[in-house]
Chain A
Amino acid sequence: MFDLQSIRPGRRALLLASVFGAIANGAKAQTASPRRGGTMVMLVHPEPSTLAAYAVSAGNIPPVTTQIYEGLLTYDWDLKPAPLLAKSWEISPDGKTITFRLQEGVTFHNGQPFTSADVQYSFMEIAKKVNPNGPVILAELTSIDTPDPLTAVFNLANPAPYLMVSLSANYIPIVCKSVFEGTQPMQNPSANRPIGTGPFKFAEWSRGQFIRLDRNDRYWKPGLPMLNRIIARFIPDASTRSAALEAGEAHYAAYSAVNAADIRRLQANPILDSTTRGYGMTAALTTLEFNTRRPNLAKKEVRQAIAYAIDRQFLVDNVLYGFAKPATGPLSSVFATQGFYTDQVRRFDVPDRIEIANRLMDEAGFPRGADGKRMSLYLEINSFGEQWLRQGEYIKQALAQIGIDLTLRSEDTATWLRRCYTDYDFDINEPFYSAGADPVVGVHRHYVSSAIRRGTTFVNNKDYRNPELDRIMDAATRENDHAKRAELYHQAQQILVEDSPGAWLCEVQYVTIFNRKLHDHTGPLGAYQALDRAWLER
């Protein structure tokens, strides 16, 4: 038996203290305090084909590379620029000069100090030349001056308001000049063994299995990172990925690493939790593109009728499993944060939409034939997965209501892209776009007439030409006054929705699933941001 009386007073006090201490610890576990150490496992799907984030813009690369490379800036929850490698900045009143003061005491993983020469090299030699976003984001950047090692002055030909929202590590990673100098960027040994300034160092890539990142002990932010190691695991099968989370083997899965159909089940699991935060810069839309070269689709009434015929809420509920919301136009409502978005456009979600659609088809001169059909069209099925066939099957049923006989055509990715973006041999296409951080980055190219470029994928393949819209988007590219710029985008949305060169279906809402033991993982850029503060409960 345990008898407190038999223990000497001094000991007794100590014992009691430790018992109470244990109780206090137990209570504290609810709100546990950050703990150093541990290995976090994240699921990335599909496995990246390369880690050359400075030259390839695939969405599955940044979850790994933003741990290693850093950008000049990061962004806060309002998507306003926040310091990272640049500690502060000034923009000249005419918008043509941006001066960045750089963080001191930063070193690359190879021991080289980080200086303004690396910034100059990363932008002028790497990003402008090999980064696919370079031609758009850096179009106005003419040169970078480096008056001292900790100052970089960007000289622009014209104001570029979108530049300041595109300087995070996932767009333009800062690389080490001495590693790249005199080599071909794509053939550089550091393409798949990246060397950056970030909180984690590249350690090992076992193809088909995992990438291992180790703690950067010399990271410039004091006391960070918290984790010892990050493992990015690649599991090709969707249900095995879900099972890995359920079993606690993996701690974190962002973007589409988890099948939408599994999300509800995972959310109900007591060891897991979920968040929809951190996707503010994604602005992903499911859309239809109409080939306006085709006589059937040349009239805007027909295109509007198609937009009216589709019940977007049905797609949200049954194709996207509820992880989406109906779209109103070419700009996602996530741009509301910046004031660019408006829903004051022609609305297709009205109660009598089917009657309106049928009336528009009559007005356009396409009466129903004896068999009730007005016209036959093809829909090119997006080849990037199952959900697009489901969407196509629904659209076929929806368009039958307004007398359009839709035939679905599903081909392999290469044939599909060639048909829609090179041969222009399509009626309706169903692509999926991410607008990026600014409309200039990922929206303009779908609608301006200068982006009718045969052979380039995901640009204006609709042959949509509207001089008024061209003028507005051109002005919005250069407009330095935020309010005026927002007004231009409101006009652009009204024009585009009225002309309907495409139909905008759903704003996809990504969900991050994480283990409850993992804390402080999701920042404003979600999975495209370093996990320097993330920590694991024991």
Chain B
Amino acid sequence: MPDGLRRFARNRMAVLGAIVIAIIVLVSVLAPFLYPKGAFSLAGQPLQPPSLQFPLGTDALGRDVAAGVAEGARTSLLIGIAAALSAVIFGAMIGGIAGYYRGTVDIVLMRVTEFFQTIPAFLLAMLLVVILSPSLLSVIIAIAAVSWPGIARLVRGEFVALGGREFILASLGLGASGPRIIFRHLLPNCLSAIITVGSLLVATAILLETGLAFLGLGDPNIMSWGLQISAGRVSLRTAWWVCTFPGIAILLTVLSINLVGDGLNEALNPRLRER
């Protein structure tokens, strides 16, 4: 891994992305201490432009936009990571079983996966949130439910490719059980691909969450960047700051995660090692 880390460090943009993410994580951890009253509290006069007291201005109800951006960072990261992690675990499980056992199991599981892939992800997520009624958990479930098929197909592909290799045949010959081969030999060998794709999933999950909150399908009790933008949209022409700062936060976060994902890909992908 130190080798991989060195390769990662050589990619300047990836390091920059990692620094930005570190700052965002720091802000989201510090948010409750910086803004103990919470992002929904009515802090001052509505629609004040950025000033010393309110560096990012206030929104239509007089809430501090900076507090919202800080608390929104926590929401976005929490939902992004939780949803991506659930999608990765579930997707890897489905893909792993299909890719290892093949045959009928494979056919059934892959048809189900394709079924999910054919429905537009955002529409399905909206539908799920509406059915489950908007809350933190239902948003995570909805995003995970639309994100896992990609991981499942990836893992299946890797398993199928690795399945005929000598070391797998050797383990089989030595009488190793299915789960042992899956967890000891197959999964570790495609971990780098899963990590790379999984990190990019975090970015997609954050965008999905923002989109849902923008449409009023987020948890109304939790501050999020999407909620801030949708609240500020009506006053865009009179108070640019309400939408703009959460928008910049989304841009920076998603861009940084993508940069880090590219960096991870280069660092972990053996085929790119010569570069």
Contacts and interface: CB of A to CB of B under 8 A. Distances in A.
Interface string B51-79: 00000000011100000000000000000
Contact of A397 (B41, B216, B220, B231): B41
A265 B238 contact: yes
Contacts of A392: 220
A352 interface: no
Interface string A225-267: 0000000000000100000000000000000000101101100
Contacts of B133: 409, 411, 415
A411 B218 CA distance: 10
Contact of B130 (A259, A262, A317, A412): A412
B236 to A, nearest CB: 8
A261 B235 contact: yes
A220 interface: no
Contact of B134 (A238, A318, A394, A410): A410
A163 interface: no
A264 B216 CA distance: 25
A318 B60 contact: yes
A74 B130 CA distance: 44
B230 interface: yes
A408 interface: yes
Q: Looking at B60, B130, B220, which has the most chain A CB atoms within 10 Å of its CB? A: B220
B241 to A, nearest CB: 15
A386 interface: yes
A250 B107 CA distance: 58
B220 A410 contact: yes
Interface in A383-430: 386, 389-390, 392-394, 396-397, 407-412, 415
B234 A381 contact: no
Contacts of B130: 411-412, 415
A104 B93 CA distance: 81
Secondary structure class of chain A's binding surface, majority of residues: helix
B70 to A, nearest CB: 17
Contacts of B231: 386, 389-390
B237 interface: yes
A469 interface: no
Nearest to A264: B238
B220 A386 contact: no
B61 A386 contact: no
Contacts of B61: 318-319, 390, 393-394
A386 B214 CA distance: 10
Interface string B110-142: 000000000000000000001001100000000
B42 A397 contact: yes
A408 B234 contact: no
Interface in A370-391: 381, 386, 389-390
A415 B133 CA distance: 9
B179 interface: no
Contact of B221 (A319, A386, A394, A408): A408
Contacts of B230: 386
B40 interface: yes
Contacts of B234: 238, 259, 261-262, 386
B46 interface: yes
Contact of A318 (B41, B62, B221): B62
Given A261-B234, A390-B61, A409 B220 contact: yes
Interface in A262-321: 262, 264-265, 317-319
A78 B155 CA distance: 75
A411 B216 CA distance: 9
B272 to A, nearest CB: 46
B60 A390 contact: yes
Contacts of B134: 409-411
Contacts of A238: 234
Nearest to B63: A393
Interface string B209-222: 00000001000110
Contacts of A259: 234
Nearest to A261: B234
B60 A389 contact: no
A393 B46 contact: no
Given A318-B62, A389-B216, A390-B60, A407 B221 contact: yes
Nearest to B237: A265
Interface string B165-195: 0000000000000000000000000000000
A513 to B, nearest CB: 16
Contacts of B41: 397
Nearest to A410: B220
A471 B221 CA distance: 42
A231 to B, nearest CB: 27
A476 to B, nearest CB: 39
Contact of B46 (A265, A318, A381): A318
Interface in B24-52: 40-42, 46
B42 A394 contact: yes
A392 B216 CA distance: 13
A261 B235 CA distance: 6
Interface string A7-47: 00000000000000000000000000000000000000000
A319 B62 CA distance: 11
Given A318-B46, A411-B133, A415-B133, A393 B60 contact: no
A318 B62 CA distance: 8
Contacts of B60: 318-319, 390
Nearest to A387: B234
B258 to A, nearest CB: 31
B46 to A, nearest CB: 5
Interface in A159-205: none
Contacts of A317: 46
A318 to B, nearest CB: 5
Contacts of A386: 216, 230-231, 234
Interface in A435-484: none
A399 B240 CA distance: 30
Interface of A: 238, 259, 261-262, 264-265, 317-319, 381, 386, 389-390, 392-394, 396-397, 407-412, 415
Given A259-B234, A393-B61, 7 more contacts: A261-B235, A262-B234, A265-B237, A318-B60, A389-B231, A394-B61, A408-B220
18 contacts: A261-B235, A262-B237, A264-B238, A318-B46, A318-B61, A386-B230, A389-B216, A389-B220, A390-B60, A390-B231, A392-B220, A393-B40, A396-B40, A396-B221, A408-B221, A411-B130, A411-B134, A415-B130
List 7 tightest A-B contacts by C-beta distance, closest first: A408-B220, A261-B234, A410-B220, A318-B46, A412-B130, A411-B133, A408-B221
